[in-house]
Chain A
Amino acid sequence: MISQRIFSILQRYERLTLPRLKFHSRLNDRQLRHALAAMIQHHLIYHFTSLEDGNTYYEANPQAAYYLVRSGKILQLVESRLGEYASRLMEAILYLGHASVSELEVRPELRSRNPVAANRIKHEEEDPQANGLDVEEEPATTNGDHAVDDKPAPFHATLKALASHGYILRVRDAHFQSPSDNLLEAQRAVAARSDIKALKGKKQEEAIKERAQELVQERTSGDLTQGLMYNGLPRGIKRKFGNGSVDRQPQNHHNGVNGDHAEDEEQQKEEEENEWSEDEDGFDNIPMESGMAVRVNYEKLDVALRNARFVDLAQQDAPAVTAELYACLLRRVEYVTPRCRDAEEIPREKEEGEQFSTPISVQTLLEDIDPSMDLTGALGPADPSQAMNRRGKRPLENGVNGDYDDADDADEASSGAMRAYLVNQHLGLLSQPPFDLASSVTLSVGPSKWRVGFRGLARKLRHLELERMIESRFGDVALRVVRVLQAKGKLDEKRLQEISLLPFKDLRQTLASMQRGGFVDLQEVPKDAQRQPSKTIFLWYYDADRVCSSILEDTYKAMSRTLQRIKHERTLEKDFLEKTERSDVKGHEEEYLTEGELERLQRWRNKEALFLAAIARLDDMVAVFRDY
């Protein structure tokens, strides 16, 4: 509660010194200091000590506060990639904001290999806004009674795996200062250098700008992947060979609503756990620097989450095998993509250049994919007439052998060139409309490689979200109108009708209701100075940027309303929930609660899960509009 108050004060007044903050918050020194320390630990507050006046300024970090909402999704992702233990480790790091390696190592819940409490992820999400002070105590309650019957946890190996994936980074001093402070400081430092002072005028300005960027980069970079990559692959990556079907599933999970996957996840966990021990335990337990503090790298995780969205797009209309191949490509791309975009803000529509990922060669992909994966069955023949003639025996050079003789099949499919050809076929399908998910580049030497155009796809995701909203609010007629406007720019009603082939009545109604909803706008172009309506041209247009930003605001609002509603629901059930949360009842619900109460608790948990799922899905939208 205290940190909540401090945070909202800082949001309102922006930068404050300690005395001012104390004045506004009406807290005593002790409370204030504790709260600030905890919030700094969680990177919720930036602080900056000015060299000029010696004051320390505090500033809220809304980005970090927002990312707390995404914790659940991040843990799920880490779990699907690196297994259950890694997600627990990640969870510990998230709890602590940042922590040193040695600190993490001694945490009781990370000692054992098996999960400690079943529903902790839920708790994490439960109250992201007010995480401040109570965090310190909470984890302590969830451990203890676990027998030490299992092997020591692969702590260091897992930490390294996380680091090499780039999911965590080293905490630097500069991380505690706001980006603008960092930049100003760097500029000051650069300007004071003698070689810069020697320059004059515009040149000097440019040099300062450039060097300051470099300096900030240097000071804030906490990249841990260096030296941990092995042949371009991060450590701790699971071998997928032999169990393709198991691995395919986690890809589906990222889309938010969880809960019903519990069972099959459980099974997977078991398998993963086993694999893990065989693969990694032996050679990779050299500890990492114990004094190093690590924190979560949200930027990188956004890349991974965004890729999951791209895979979802592929799954919508492409065969599953193709989508899986695409997932492999994106995985490779993820390792070499540090962040979603370089620009601070999403550039305006049509002013945005394309930014391609590093091209990945087919050979690399072939190493990643499951050799038993059937690449042939999912695509038709390039020339159907031939296939008809020789029933079932499709010619090989068309890339699809419709041959179902086992011996034959195995021979052909296992040959590398054939598989490379097939991979190209599958990705080629994705490079075509309606997908446009990948594109191939042919370099002067060597075979062609595949890459992903991030900006275009991010834009596509944004448009898809908008289109979904438009369709649900105004129907499919509106969708057509919006797409026409998007493609053609500003149009008057008549042209619009000709292209969209809609009756005037429908068209006008739709346009009017969309304008009311703020999705399309009308521009008046008067032909004379009197601006008579009869002598005015009215042009409809659709400004995706504007709509995006207003939807983003709406989404934030919807999220906060949902959170407020949870709070309200919680107060309705306050007495009962307080009982279930008593320290003696918690964890022993079955013993202390009556059947009716247990049912009630279950109902409450379902309800809460529903709300949180709604928030998680709203967060998906925020990510699309803001972060990708």
Chain B
Amino acid sequence: MAEPHTGELASQLYDACLESYDTNHLFYQADFLGLNIIPKNDPQLLLKCTQQLVDQKLLRLHQDKNERLAWKLISREDADKLQNLSADEGLVYNVIHSTARSGIWVRAIQTRTNLHKSILDRCLKSLEGKNYIKSVHNVKFPTRKMYMLAGLAPSEDITGGAWFTDGVLDANFINSVAGYIEYTVSRKSWYEVPADRGRTAKRIKTATGKAEVKSEATEKTYIPYPFNYEGYPTVQTITNAVNESGITPVRLGEESIIQLLQMLCFDKKLVELNLKSGTAYKSVKNPEAVKEKQSRKPAEGDEPIQINEPGKNNGMTDSPCGPCPSFRLCSPGGAISPETCEYFDPWMEKNLAF
């Protein structure tokens, strides 16, 4: 007498589940019983109902870490889709579905479904034809053919994040955003001395070091903030500034910005500060210097420019031996020797010219 009821009970159960839980909820036996639809909470009956729902593709079977049986809901449209698929196609679809946004490699599908390659190929083709799945490009393994459900956006692991365009790092984009960030942060990390304060300008004139841009009134003077200053920009403010600036075609997430900020930290353009209010960033150079450096960048050709900033050279880089390509072969009396060295004379000329 239970037989006719099962179908009804099953659809009741399904509707109840749809109502009281969201679609991503993982159902355990207790969850179903908790809905008070199965009479007497009979596990046998529940099993039958869920089995029917699984057959109708309205439930998907899962197994959690402890090997307990669990179920997930499938929407009715998806269920319709699945109903129309052949058994093999359904299998493949489920496997692809299970990897969600990270996509799955064709060979991995093969091992998991144990289908023959030709059958698998046919399934994939038909699924792709029905526009249920799509093939995606993976940055990490450019040679692998990967698939994911058509409706999903590939995750950052696959695309490499916002900085990749079609799986290739977009250097120009990165540089322009990085430059913008550095300048923005810099503006907030240095205090701009108002120009009308004649006396301040005079005071700073006596100071050395590039921290201050001194002299004429037209030039701006920047001084650092004291150490209890809390106004350094955080990831959030920087992200907002970048997104509002309109230099990016897409909205960048905080994750991507953090990635870029870390890169800038490795470049020693920014430093990370741990303030009471959280992590913030401070620029090493003041806005004027940043601007100057950035405007100089494109002018440089292929040949390396002479770095003349203080702190960029040391005894080794400035001596003829530092950049010498035959340094290792050089020995007194050898074919290459300090006596016959051809680098010393030009070096001497250059340095004595000062």
- Chain A positions near chain B (C-beta within 8 angstroms): 245, 252, 256, 312, 315-321, 323, 374, 377-384, 391-392, 398-400, 404, 425, 428-429, 431-434, 464-465, 468-469, 471-473, 475-476, 479-480, 483-484, 487, 494, 497-504, 506, 551, 554-555, 557-558, 561-562, 564-565, 568, 606-607, 610, 614, 616-621
Contacts and interface: CB of A to CB of B under 8 A. Distances in A.
B230 A472 contact: no
Contacts of A429: 224, 226-227
B305 to A, nearest CB: 10
Binding site of B, secondary structure by majority: helix, strand, loop or mixed?
Answer: loop
Given A433-B282, A469-B314, A620-B315, A382 B339 contact: no
* Best-surrounded residue of B203, B212, B321, B352 (most CB of chain A within 10 A): B321
Contact of B168 (A473, A503, A506, A561): A503
B348 A501 contact: no
A203 B36 CA distance: 78
B227 A502 contact: no
The 4 A-B pairs of least Cβ separation, nearest first, read: A380-B191, A617-B315, A428-B227, A320-B207
Given A321-B207, A433-B282, A564-B339, A621 B314 contact: yes
Given A379-B226, A483-B266, A500-B263, 14 more contacts: A315-B209, A319-B209, A319-B224, A320-B207, A380-B190, A425-B227, A468-B312, A487-B266, A498-B161, A498-B259, A501-B174, A614-B315, A614-B319, A617-B315
B315 A382 contact: no
Contacts of A472: 307, 312-313, 317, 322-323
A323 B206 CA distance: 13
B39 to A, nearest CB: 56
B273 interface: yes
A399 B228 CA distance: 10
Binding site of A, secondary structure by majority: helix, strand, loop or mixed?
Answer: helix
Contact of A465 (B285, B314, B327, B339): B314
Interface string B204-230: 101111111000000000011111111
A433 B314 CA distance: 23
Given A316-B209, A472-B317, A377 B225 contact: no
B339 A621 contact: no
B160 A498 contact: yes
Contacts of B252: none
Contacts of A252: 208
Given A432-B227, A432-B273, A565-B344, A378 B315 contact: no
Contact of B263 (A379, A431, A499, A503): A499
Interface in B142-174: 160-161, 163, 168-169, 171, 174
Given A429-B224, A472-B313, A554 B327 contact: yes
Contact of B226 (A399, A433, A483, A551): A399
B256 to A, nearest CB: 10
B226 A501 contact: no
B266 A480 contact: yes
B346 interface: no
B194 interface: yes
A320 B316 contact: no
B322 A380 contact: no
A624 to B, nearest CB: 9
A619 to B, nearest CB: 7
Given A380-B225, A380-B229, A607-B352, A562 B321 contact: yes
Contact of B313 (A380, A434, A468): A468
A377 B199 CA distance: 9
A610 B320 CA distance: 12
A502 B169 CA distance: 7
B330 interface: yes
Contacts of B230: 382
Interface in B277-332: 282, 284-285, 304, 307, 310-319, 321-323, 327, 330, 332
A319 B322 contact: no
A610 B346 CA distance: 13
B209 to A, nearest CB: 5
Contacts of B68: none
Contacts of B194: 391-392
Contact of B316 (A374, A380, A469, A497): A469
A380 B228 CA distance: 11
A139 B55 CA distance: 106
A503 B169 CA distance: 6
Interface residues of B, number: 71
A494 B139 CA distance: 9
A502 B175 CA distance: 10
B348 A607 contact: yes
A434 to B, nearest CB: 5
Contacts of B90: none
A320 B206 contact: yes
* Best-surrounded residue of A377, A431, A469, A557 (most CB of chain B within 10 A): A377
B267 to A, nearest CB: 5
Contacts of A476: 267
B273 A377 contact: no
Contacts of B140: 494
B169 A504 contact: yes
Nearest to B310: A316
A383 B225 CA distance: 9
A380 B321 contact: no
Contacts of A617: 314-315, 318-319
B268 interface: yes
Contact of A380 (B226, B271, B284, B327): B226
B317 A468 contact: yes
B225 A382 contact: yes
A534 to B, nearest CB: 12
Contacts of B319: 558, 562, 614, 617-618
Given A498-B160, A621-B316, A380 B227 contact: no
B7 interface: no
Nearest to B267: A480
Contacts of B163: 501
B5 interface: no
A24 B282 CA distance: 64
Nearest to B340: A568
A465 B285 CA distance: 20
A433 B273 contact: yes
Contacts of B266: 480, 483-484, 487, 499-500
19 contacts: A316-B210, A323-B209, A379-B191, A381-B225, A382-B225, A399-B228, A425-B226, A429-B224, A464-B311, A469-B317, A472-B322, A499-B263, A501-B169, A557-B321, A558-B327, A562-B321, A565-B338, A565-B344, A568-B339
